[in-house]
Chains A and B, each alone.
Chain A
Amino acid sequence: MWTEKLRATARRLLEENRVARVLAYAEGMDPAAPFPHLAADPDQANRLVLNAFCAPNLAKYLLEYTDQEGSTAVVLKGCDWLGLERLIQDHRVEREKVHVLGLPCPGMLDKKKLSRVFPEVREAALRDGGVEMWAGERKRTARREDVCLGRCLACRVPTPAAAAEFLGEPLAPAVAQPDFAAVEEIEKRPTEERRDYWTEQFSRCLRCLACRQVCPACNCRSCSLDSEAPRWLSRATGPSANQMFHFIRAWDVAGRCVDCQECERVCPMDIPLMRLNRKLMRDVGELFAIPDAHVPRDAEPLGIFRPDDPEEFE
């Protein structure tokens, strides 16, 4: 039903020349894995889809159109919208050139979980009681916990706080407060165990850089990870190079991460990247008294200071 609403909206916006293009999703080879798609004229609007498989955050694709004329309509869920705010605060995207189609999102499905529960799934709908899924005639139902992305089960921002138009009725957040239990569990371990834990996690890293590519906070025009001189990142993927890579990736979004958790979703090796991001997020909030440290503000926490900041050093 989202698809019809989206197609009608996209067609109208393009016919009335309100926007130059509509950024949404289209069906790929696998109907359960739609990919980002751009509709630039009204006839293309019918290719667009919007369903419970549309987890990818489209905000960062806006960077492709910043130097083109006209504004871009983009479908954003609550989490994606925070990514857009990040790009706007970073002066990478102009607010005036974006027409947000806000999707109040009840949760998106997790491909990794589905591959265990119902790999053939082609259609799905989230109901109050659970999730209904179809593969042709075959139908299955599942609990949300078993098929939805972990981030959606603890969603704090299902609906964008602001949008040019909404594609549905606003939804209430699943939880009010972020859960830092995973971070605290690691903190309780002895130093050596923490080092071994991370060394093991990082040892799986393929250095595909998907986490960087997908991150709305990783939006620099040139990235120090690609730099030849100085070369911050050796091309080898040994333990210390991997440690350096993950340190740089997490640190450079410290105080800037919007908690969208796309990095973790796209990681092919299931490295718990959010346990790094959330550690920094919680500490930034506590140290500098910033409530909701994931929400982009005028000034980023490490880009400012107060003379009466806590003094921990002699």
Chain B
Amino acid sequence: MPLAEVEPKIVAFFCNWCSYAGADLAGTSRIQYPPSVRIIRVPCSGRVNPRFILRAFQLGADGVLVAGCHPGDCHYSTGNYFSRRRLSLLRRFLAYLGIDERRFRVRWISASEGPRFAETVKEMTEELRQLGPAQKVAATSVD
């Protein structure tokens, strides 16, 4: 199969309270979205240790998506404000280490935004298809 037709792999970290519920809503509303996304449910976007993201890339992700409640709406009041700081810095740092910044996205998706979730996955999948498979630092993913 030509590379362009291979479905990219997106590892997604979704917060339990907003974004995961938003993805759930997309499912129950029967909104179509690409099967490229693998969602990992976390209590809060603030739970996402930047190491998780680098590890996802090392283990074969073509893209990583982090989603949480909109700033101001965090279930734990302030968790996503911390993640916003951290992930802004991380995006630059990953790019510096040679991981294309287009492969790493952060979106605020509320529990009522099922269509927005589907749209986000569609957009990102399309962009990753254009970019092609991510280059890994090693031939073997665990060394």
Contact = CB atoms under 8 A, between A and B. Distances in A.
B97 A240 contact: no
Interface stretch (A41-49, A63-71, A116-124, A241-249): A241-249
A313 B83 CA distance: 11
Given A238-B143, A243-B137, A251-B50, A302 B85 contact: yes
A283 B58 contact: no
B87 interface: yes
Interface stretch (A4-12, A97-105, A130-138, A186-194): A186-194
B24 to A, nearest CB: 21
A283 B96 CA distance: 11
B76 interface: no
Interface string B52-72: 001100100000000000011
Contact of A244 (B55, B89, B92, B106): B55
B89 A240 contact: no
A305 B137 contact: no
Given A194-B97, A240-B141, A243-B97, A287 B89 contact: yes
Contacts of A301: 85
A186 B86 CA distance: 22
A284 interface: yes
B33 interface: no
B127 to A, nearest CB: 14
Give the size category of B's interface with A: 35 or more
Interface string B125-143: 0000000000111101111
A192 B98 contact: yes
Interface stretch (A26-34, A151-159, A163-171, A196-204): A196-204
Contacts of A250: 93
Contact of B85 (A196, A198, A236, A309): A309
The residue in A194, A195, A240 that gathers the most chain B C-beta atoms within 10 A of its C-beta is A240
A212 to B, nearest CB: 15
Nearest to A306: B81
A302 B86 contact: yes
A280 interface: yes
Contacts of A196: 98
A291 interface: no
A279 interface: yes
B16 to A, nearest CB: 19
Interface in A229-264: 232, 234, 236, 238-241, 243-244, 247-248, 250-251, 254-255
Interface in A262-279: 276, 279
Contacts of B85: 287-288, 301-302, 305, 309
B93 A234 contact: no
B88 to A, nearest CB: 5
A311 B84 contact: yes
Nearest to A313: B106
A187 B54 contact: no
A298 to B, nearest CB: 16
B98 A283 contact: no
B142 A234 contact: yes
Interface of B: 50-51, 54-55, 58, 71-72, 78, 81-82, 84-93, 95-100, 105-108, 135-138, 140-143
Given A236-B143, A311-B71, A312-B84, 4 more contacts: A302-B86, A309-B81, A312-B91, A314-B108
5 contacts: A191-B98, A194-B95, A195-B97, A199-B98, A238-B140
